């Protein structure tokens, strides 16, 4: 058995692709992206959601372009975003009639920073190659990159049947699952080869191979990565709702990223009814941050609590600080360079409180059950003071604000 690898594997070398100025692959940091769930023809709703996703940290945002009305709305959405000062690149998601929409709506073709197409539904039988070529030619004409996004829910049935027949003729050396994985990978690679033959250079092509099963996803991307140097977009499709979607996406994408695979990620969460679409951006950022690949936000370390704490003070304080940080980050990013590296600890009692707080930049150890109503605060590893009274939480929040101003304000961090 090979030795357990403790460190992330070096990033696979892929060809970098510029998507509206954001580089995907080629050694660039892993890019976070998301997708709207508004009707793109509803310009107000789509602008609002793109803005919310971008402000939450989405570096690219994909929108559905499914009919004439939505294609006609795209340049207006682009214009409105620019008026708001939001230069987030927009990606158009095309199915079935992408060739037609891109031909009939040149302003849409121009306003988008990338086209996403699915080789399983770009066209059928003798129309398939023709319609695929028409989209690629539009991309070349408008100098746009394309994501060739295979999805097992709309897999190229002709290719699947051919590979199943080949497998049968050879006496079934592969299982049905293995043939399915091979079809997904081949569908992406054959389409990429065709796009290159038409004239789209490799530095304008991104590939993805999405499935909804964690082990299949890991296998497909490992195969794809071993057989090509195209930039890869990772995502578990139909990941589901709530904790299930978060766990399944994090498990599969985390393993691939640890192996050096993946240049951009999307966490495809199904929102709760009326839920917040930006959750998928938060999860993507947190996944990349906890794995040490990127830093987006200050970290708040909080203990889980146990029988030594009967009050919810420390839970409320940890939650409040986390929420304040997320809310303030768009301003802090510009005002306090380096603030995303801040570590705050909020601990429930004396057992691990002082130790964990000393490891943070600023930390507090709140009193547990039976402890004196006093909360020592540690700054840069040293005990700085003890808070007492009824406003410990508020006083600590003030201290965190003062610490950020002192350390990161006026270019202090840059000077360190
Ligand atoms: S620090 Fe204290 S309250 Fe928090 S989990 Fe540990 S023992 Fe429990």
Q: Pick the residue whose CA is nearest to atom 2 on ligand 1.
A: 349
Q: Is the CB of 353 under 6 A from ligand 1?
A: yes
108 is in an annotated binding site: no
Which of 233-242, 286-295, 305-314 comes out lowest in average pLDDT? Answer: 305-314
- Mean pLDDT along residues 241-249: 91
Tens-digit pLDDT profile for residues 266-284: 999 988 888 899 999 999 9
One DSSP character per residue, 117-139 reads: E-TTTS--TTHHHHHHHHHHHHH
CA 186 to chain centre: 25
Q: What pLDDT shows up at residue 366?
A: 87
pLDDT tens, 22-60? 999 999 999 999 999 999 999 999 999 999 999 999 999
Given a contact cutoff of 8 angstroms between Cβ atoms, the answer to whether 209 and 27 are in contact is no
Q: So what's the pLDDT on residue 395?
A: 92
DSSP-assigned letters across all residues of 364-401 = EE---TTS-SEEEEEETTEEEEEEESS-HHHHHHHHHH
Q: Is the pLDDT of residue 142 over 90?
A: yes
Ligand 1 atom nearest the C-alpha of 356 is: 1
State how far the Cα of 262 lies from the Cα of 285, in Å rounded to an integer: 14
Q: How many CB atoms lie within 10 A of CB 370?
A: 8
Q: Cα separations (Å) of 61 from 51, 89, 279, 386?
A: 9, 6, 14, 46
Among residues 19, 56, 59, 52, the alpha carbon closest in space to that of 36 is found at 52
**What does the alpha-carbon distance between residue 237 and residue 152 come to, in Å, rounded to a whole number?**
9
What is the model's pLDDT at position 322? Answer: 84
Q: Which tens digit of pLDDT belongs to each residue from 300-333? A: 899 888 888 877 777 888 888 888 888 888 888 8
pLDDT value of residue 109: 98
How many CB atoms are located within 10 Å of the residue 39 CB? 16
95 within ligand 1 shell (Cβ under 6 A): no
Q: Is 368 in the pocket of ligand 1 (CB under 6 A)?
A: yes
Length of the chain: 416
Domains in the chain: ranges and CATH: 17-291 (3.20.20.20), 299-407 (3.30.413.10)
Task: For residue 384, give the nearest of 353, 357, 366, 347 by alpha carbon.
Answer: 357
- Over residues 216-233, the mean pLDDT reads 97
């Amino acid at each position: 058995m090979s030795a357990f690898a403790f460190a992330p594997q070096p990033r696979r070398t892929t060809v970098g692709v510029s998507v509206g100025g954001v580089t995907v692959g080629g050694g660039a940091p892993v890019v976070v992206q998301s997708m709207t769930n508004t009707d793109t023809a509803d310009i107000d709703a789509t602008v609002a959601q793109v803005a919310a996703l971008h402000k939450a940290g989405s570096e690219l945002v994909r929108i559905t372009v499914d009919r004439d009305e939505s294609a006609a709305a795209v340049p207006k959405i682009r214009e409105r975003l620019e008026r708001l000062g939001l230069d987030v690149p927009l990606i158009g998601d095309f199915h079935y009639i992408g060739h037609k929409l891109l031909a009939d709506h040149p302003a849409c073709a121009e306003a988008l920073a990338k086209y996403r197409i699915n080789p399983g539904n770009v066209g059928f039988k003798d129309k398939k190659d023709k319609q695929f070529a028409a989209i690629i030619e539009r991309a070349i004409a408008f100098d746009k990159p394309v994501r060739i996004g295979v999805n097992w829910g709309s897999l190229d049935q002709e290719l699947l049947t051919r590979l199943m027949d080949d497998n049968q003729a050879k006496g079934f050396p592969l299982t049905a699952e293995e043939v399915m994985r091979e079809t997904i990978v081949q569908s992406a690679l054959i389409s990429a080869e065709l796009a290159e033959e038409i004239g789209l250079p490799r530095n304008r092509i991104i590939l993805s191979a999405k499935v909804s099963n964690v082990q299949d996803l890991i296998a497909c991307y490992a195969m794809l990565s071993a057989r090509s140097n195209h930039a890869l977009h990772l995502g578990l499709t139909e990941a589901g709702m709530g904790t299930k979607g978060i766990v399944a996406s994090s498990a599969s994408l985390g393993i691939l990223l640890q192996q050096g695979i993946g240049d951009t990620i999307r966490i495809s969460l199904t929102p709760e009814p009326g839920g917040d679409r930006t959750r998928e951006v938060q999860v993507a950022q947190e996944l990349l941050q906890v794995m040490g690949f990127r830093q987006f936000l200050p970290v708040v370390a909080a203990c889980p609590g146990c029988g030594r704490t009967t009050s919810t003070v420390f839970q409320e304080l940890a939650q409040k600080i986390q929420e304040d940080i997320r809310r303030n980050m768009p301003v802090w990013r510009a005002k306090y360079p380096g603030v995303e590296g801040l570590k705050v600890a909020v601990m429930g009692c004396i057992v691990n409180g002082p130790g964990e707080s000393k490891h943070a930049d600023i930390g507090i150890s709140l009193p547990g059950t039976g402890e004196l109503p006093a909360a020592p605060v540690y700054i840069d590893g040293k005990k700085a003071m003890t808070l007492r009274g009824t406003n410990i939480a508020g006083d600590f929040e003030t201290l965190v604000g003062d610490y950020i101003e002192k350390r990161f304000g006026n270019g202090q961090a840059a000077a360190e």
